[in-house]
């Protein structure tokens, strides 16, 4: 087993180190491909919504304009989730409390797809038989088999669920199931049940971009599948750093005070 | 010039939907209560998930108010050009722009810090609503 791991790691290093690392604002360079001919998603990425924090508002606007010019759908839609009335009422309740109930505020693992939109980068390492995602936030990781196997039979509900992937042409399709109910989908109060199924589609449509699409299915709370989209942008000069959320999280105390004072009952 | 300069700008603020790395901005801070103060740094806590610093701000009568600001975690500060042992030290005079807490305590969310040499660094994200 060890030689296989070493070989796989060596392949990854060669693939990674052979990619030109200079920042290229143009999105028109072709996506790199693996020896097997598949698009190589490897690299450090960040959601376009976070470009404002990394490079400022002008760069953010330029990125969105580049997406529009390339025909990529606009990301971070303000569209409300297609909830059934009872679920929507719960979402409104959480909104009225201004997000004080956000599991992320307690430094709990952020689920899928929300973790992909956090304003911190993540690294994709694509190996021949699996894709590894390393998130700066929460030190989270996903190991996603691409060798044809199905989800594990002994899966327990979890924050990030269980992911397995296959290729649909040049698109990596990741099926995620076995979620717990301690995460929000995308935005304050976006609840779900353990029956949630998320289908993610990753398409590296240029050297610098991945088109991302996540479709959430959860018939108990959603009237129809809910799809959201974003463009991930390559960060060639970035590295994944440490982010230890719980170290000095004063929100835990503040939120308890707010709850005791009833301050969260005001409308936003 | 260390006179108290607090500007409450009501309206006209562009509220980005980006939240800070881990929490809901709107639970504690008010994106419509912009604050801008100039004063002397008392202490700096270089911690996760936010760094904090305290700054003493004098009003025109000489009375001191101590503000405490929270901003980016260290991983993001470094990306904005901050260095822990150089950029912001006790005794420095800075101008801080951000938003005040809803409860009118002297707690703020920092967006920008301007130094006496004219440098201006992002200390925290735009005001968010807990967004996505």
- Three-state secondary-structure class, residue A230: strand
Q: Rounded to an integer, what distance in angstroms lies between the CA atom of residue A135 and that of residue A124?
A: 9
| CA B77 centroid distance within chain | 13
Q: Rounded to a whole number, what is the largest CA-CA distance in chain B?
A: 44
What length does chain B have?
A: 132
B93-101 and B29-45 strand pairing: antiparallel
Task: Give the confidence band of A17 by pLDDT, cuts at 50, 70, 90.
Answer: very low
Q: Check CB contact of A264 with chain B, cutoff 8 Å.
A: yes
Q: Rounded to an integer, what distance in angstroms lies between the CA atom of residue B98 and that of residue B108?
A: 7
Verify whether the Cβ–Cβ distance A99 to B27 is below 8 Å.
yes
pLDDT at A264: 61
Tens of pLDDT, residue by residue over B45-58, are 999 999 999 999 99
Distance from CA of A176 to the nearest CA of B (A): 20
Write out the two tokens for A76: 């971070």
Verify whether the Cβ–Cβ distance B132 to A117 is below 8 Å.
yes
**Average pLDDT of span B67-73:** 96
Task: Give the confidence band of A109 by pLDDT, cuts at 50, 70, 90.
Answer: very high
pLDDT at A74: 83
Verify whether the Cβ–Cβ distance A104 to B70 is below 8 Å.
no
Distance from CA of A177 to the nearest CA of B (A): 21
Residues 35-74 on A with a CB inside 8 Å of B are 49-50, 52-54
Instruction: Collect all residues with Cβ–Cβ distance below 8 Å to A5 and sequence separation of at least 6.
Output: none
| CA A161 centroid distance within chain | 13
pLDDT at B83: 97
Verify whether the Cβ–Cβ distance A105 to B24 is below 8 Å.
yes
Give which of B79, B20, B8, B116 is closest to A55, Cα–Cα. B79
**Average pLDDT of span A15-43:** 71
**Average pLDDT of span A120-149:** 97
Nearest to A100 among B27, B73, B129 (CB): B27
Task: Give the confidence band of B104 by pLDDT, cuts at 50, 70, 90.
Answer: confident
Name residue A55's beta-bridge partners: none
* Neighbour count for residue B112 (Cβ, 10 Å): 16
* pLDDT higher than 80, residue A224: yes
Verify whether the Cβ–Cβ distance A264 to B27 is below 8 Å.
yes
**Average pLDDT of span B2-18:** 34
Judging contacts by C-beta atoms under 8 Å, the chain B residues touching residue A248 are: 45, 47-50, 52
**Average pLDDT of span A3-21:** 44
Distance from CA of A147 to the nearest CA of B (A): 32
Judging contacts by C-beta atoms under 8 Å, the chain B residues touching residue A114 are: 132
Write out the two tokens for A16: 């990674």
* pLDDT higher than 70, residue A244: yes
Nearest to B132 among A76, A97, A98 (CB): A76
| Cβ pairs bridging A and B (under 8 Å) | 109
Distance from CA of A254 to the nearest CA of B (A): 8
* pLDDT higher than 50, residue B118: yes
Nearest to B47 among A99, A247, A263 (CB): A247
Verify whether the Cβ–Cβ distance B21 to A244 is below 8 Å.
no
Verify whether the Cβ–Cβ distance A187 to B131 is below 8 Å.
yes
pLDDT at B48: 93
Verify whether the Cβ–Cβ distance B47 to A245 is below 8 Å.
no
* Neighbour count for residue B94 (Cβ, 10 Å): 22
Distance from CA of B66 to the nearest CA of A (A): 18
Verify whether the Cβ–Cβ distance B21 to A250 is below 8 Å.
no
Judging contacts by C-beta atoms under 8 Å, the chain A residues touching residue B132 are: 49, 76, 114, 117, 186-187
């Amino acid at each position: 087993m060890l030689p296989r791991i070493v070989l796989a790691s060596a392949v990854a290093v060669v693939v990674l180190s052979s990619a030109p690392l200079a920042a290229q604002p143009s999105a028109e360079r072709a996506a790199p491909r693996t020896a097997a001919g598949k698009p190589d998603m490897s690299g450090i990425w960040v959601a376009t919504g976070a470009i404002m924090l990394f490079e400022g508002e002008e760069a953010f606007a330029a990125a969105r304009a580049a997406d529009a010019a390339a025909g990529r759908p606009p990301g971070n839609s303000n569209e409300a989730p297609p909830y059934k009335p009872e679920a929507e009422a719960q979402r409104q309740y959480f909104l009225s409390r201004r997000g004080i109930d956000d599991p992320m505020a307690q430094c709990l693992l952020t689920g899928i797809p929300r973790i992909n939109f956090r304003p911190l980068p993540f690294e994709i390492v694509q190996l021949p038989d699996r894709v590894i995602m390393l998130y700066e936030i929460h030190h989270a990781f996903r190991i996603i088999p691409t060798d044809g196997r199905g989800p594990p039979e002994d899966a327990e509900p979890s924050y990030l669920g269980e992911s397995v992937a296959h290729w649909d042409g040049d698109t990596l399709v990741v099926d995620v199931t076995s979620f717990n109910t301690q995460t929000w989908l995308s935005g304050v109060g976006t609840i779900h049940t353990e029956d949630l199924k998320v289908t993610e589609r990753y398409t590296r449509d240029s050297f610098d971009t991945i088109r991302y699409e996540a479709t959430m299915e959860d018939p108990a709370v959603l009237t129809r599948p809910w799809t959201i989209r974003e463009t991930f942008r390559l960060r060639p000069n970035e590295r994944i750093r440490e982010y230890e959320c719980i170290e000095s999280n004063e929100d835990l105390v503040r939120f308890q005070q707010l709850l005791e004072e009833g301050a969260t009952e005001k409308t936003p | 010039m260390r006179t108290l300069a607090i500007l409450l700008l009501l309206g006209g603020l562009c509220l980005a939907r980006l939240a800070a790395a881990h929490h809901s901005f709107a639970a504690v801070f008010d994106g419509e209560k912009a604050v801008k103060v100039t004063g002397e740094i008392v202490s700096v806590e270089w911690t996760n998930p936010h760094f904090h610093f305290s700054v003493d701000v004098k009003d025109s009568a000489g009375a001191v108010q101590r503000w405490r600001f929270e901003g980016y975690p260290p991983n993001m500060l470094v990306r904005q050009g901050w260095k822990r042992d150089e950029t912001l030290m006790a005794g420095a005079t800075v101008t801080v722009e951000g938003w005040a807490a809803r409860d009118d305590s002297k707690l703020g969310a920092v967006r920008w810090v301007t130094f006496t040499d004219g440098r201006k660094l992002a200390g925290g994200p735009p005001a968010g609503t807990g967004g996505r």
